[in-house]
Amino acid sequence: MVATIKPQTNQISARGNTADLEHIREFVKSQSNSAGFGETDAFQIALAVDEACSNLIRHSYNNDETREFVVTVEVANQQLIIKIMDNGVAFDPLSVPEPNMNEYFKKFKHGGLGVFLMRKVMTEISYQPALNTNSPNILTLTKHFI
C-alpha cells in the first residue's frame, strides 16, 4: 500500500536525439521508484515513456538534435502523471488502432508496437495537440497506484 504523497513535480529536458533516451529512462525509472513503484513497474513505465519519446524524436523531430522537448513526472492523488511536451508535428497516439498480433507475427514485422505497449503499461493516456504556436503538444501517461 502506498502512503499519501504530497504533489511533487520534477522534469528533464531532452534533445531530438535518441542518445538522450537513456537519460529519460533513468529519470523516469528513478522517479517511479521514489514514488513507490517496484522495480518491474518502474521499468515498464520507463519503457512506455521511452517508446513515446522515441516516436517523437524519429517521427516528429526527424532526429533533429537542435529541437528540445520536456518530460515531467508528477506524483499526486495516488497516481504517477508523466507529461511529454514538444513543439513538433502533432500526432495523437490514441488514433493508432490496436494491432492484430496474429498478423503482426505472421508477417514478421519489426517495430510498430510502441503505442500498443504504452496502452498495456499505463492506466490512462491522453493527448492534447498544441493550441497555437506558443503552446506545446502534450502527451500524458498516467499510472495509478494499486
Quick: pLDDT tens for 41-92: 999 999 999 999 999 999 899 999 999 999 999 998 899 999 999 999 998 8
pTM for the full predicted model: 0.85
What single letter denotes the amino acid at residue 43? F
Percent of the chain past pLDDT 70, that is, above it, reads: 84
CATH number for the domain harbouring residue 68: 3.30.565.10
User: Mean pLDDT, the chain, as a whole number?
Assistant: 88
Give the CA angle between residues 82, 29, 110 to the nearest 5°. Answer: 85
Please compute, for residue 30, the number of CA atoms within 13 A of its CA located in the half-sphere on the CB side. 10
Whether 88 maps to a domain, the answer reads yes
146 CB-contact burial (10 Å; exposed 0-12 / middle 13-18 / buried 19+): exposed
Q: What is the pLDDT of residues 114-128, one digit of tens each?
A: 777 899 999 999 999
Whether 85 maps to a domain, the answer reads yes
Whether 3 maps to a domain, the answer reads no
**Total domain count, the chain:** 1
Give the residue numbers spanning the domain of 102. Answer: 8-144
Whether 107 maps to a domain, the answer reads yes
Contact of 77 with 145, CB cutoff 8 Å:
no
Which helix (H) or strand (E) element contains residue 115?
Answer: helix 114-121
Whether 2 maps to a domain, the answer reads no
